[in-house]
Amino acid sequence: MSDTILANATLVLPHEVITGSLRLSDGLITAIDTGAHVPAGAEDCGGDLVMPGLIELHTDNLERHIEPRPKVHFPHVGAILAHDGELASTGITTVFDALRVGSIVSKDKASYGEYARLLADEILAIRKTGALRINHLLHLRAEVCSETLIAELAKFGPEDGIGIVSLMDHTPGQRQFRNLDQLRNYVRGKHGLSEEEFLHHVASQQALSDRLGAQHEAAAVAEARRFGAVLASHDDTTAGQVATSARHGATFAEFPTTVEAAQECRTRGIYVMMGAPNLIRGGSHSGNVAAKDLAQMDLLDILSSDYVPSALLSAALMLGDQWGDLPRGVATVTSAPAQATGLVDRGQLALGLRADVIRVARLAQAAAVRGVWVGGRRVG
Cα dihedral 153/158/160/166 (nearest 10): 50
CB of 198 to Fe ion, least distance (A): 18
User: Does residue number 258 form part of the binding site for Fe ion (CB under 5 A)?
Assistant: no
CB of 168 to Fe ion, least distance (A): 6
Q: Which stretch binds Fe ion (CB under 5 A): 21-29, 59-67, 232-240, 351-359?
A: 232-240
CB of 96 to Fe ion, least distance (A): 16
CB of 180 to Fe ion, least distance (A): 15
Among 61, 176, 304, 314, binds Fe ion (CB under 5 A): 176
Pick 176 or 237: Cβ nearer Fe ion: 176
Among 43, 223, 235, 236, binds Fe ion (CB under 5 A): 235
CB of 276 to Fe ion, least distance (A): 15
CA angle at 208 for the pair 207 and 211, rounded to the nearest 5°: 85
Q: Which stretch binds Fe ion (CB under 5 A): 112-120, 229-237, 289-297, 353-361?
A: 229-237
Helix (H) or strand (E) holding 362, with range, is strand 357-362
Q: Which stretch binds Fe ion (CB under 5 A): 14-22, 51-59, 114-122, 228-236?
A: 228-236
**Cα(178)–Cα(171) distance, rounded to whole angstroms?**
9
User: 190 exposed, middle or buried (CB, 10 Å; 0-12, 13-18, 19+)?
Assistant: exposed
Count of chain residues binding Fe ion (CB under 5 A): 2
**Strands across the sheet containing 230-234:** 54-59, 92-101, 135-143, 162-168, 230-234, 252-254, 271-275, 302-304
Render 279-343 in DSSP notation, one character per residue.
HHHTS-TTS---HHHHHHTT---EEE-BT-TTHHHHHHHHHHHHHT-HHHHHHTTTHHHHHHTT-
Pick 48 or 235: Cβ nearer Fe ion: 235
Q: 234: helix, coil or strand? A: strand
Interaction pattern, residues 135-174, with Fe ion; x per rule: CB under 5 A? ----------------------------------------
Pairing between β-strand 367-374 and β-strand 377-378 as defined by DSSP bridges: antiparallel
CB of 110 to Fe ion, least distance (A): 16
Minimal CB distance to Fe ion: which residue? 176
Contact positions with Fe ion (CB under 5 A) in 111-140: none
CB of 280 to Fe ion, least distance (A): 18
Q: 220: helix, coil or strand? A: helix
Write out the residues near Fe ion by the rule CB under 5 A.
Answer: 176, 235
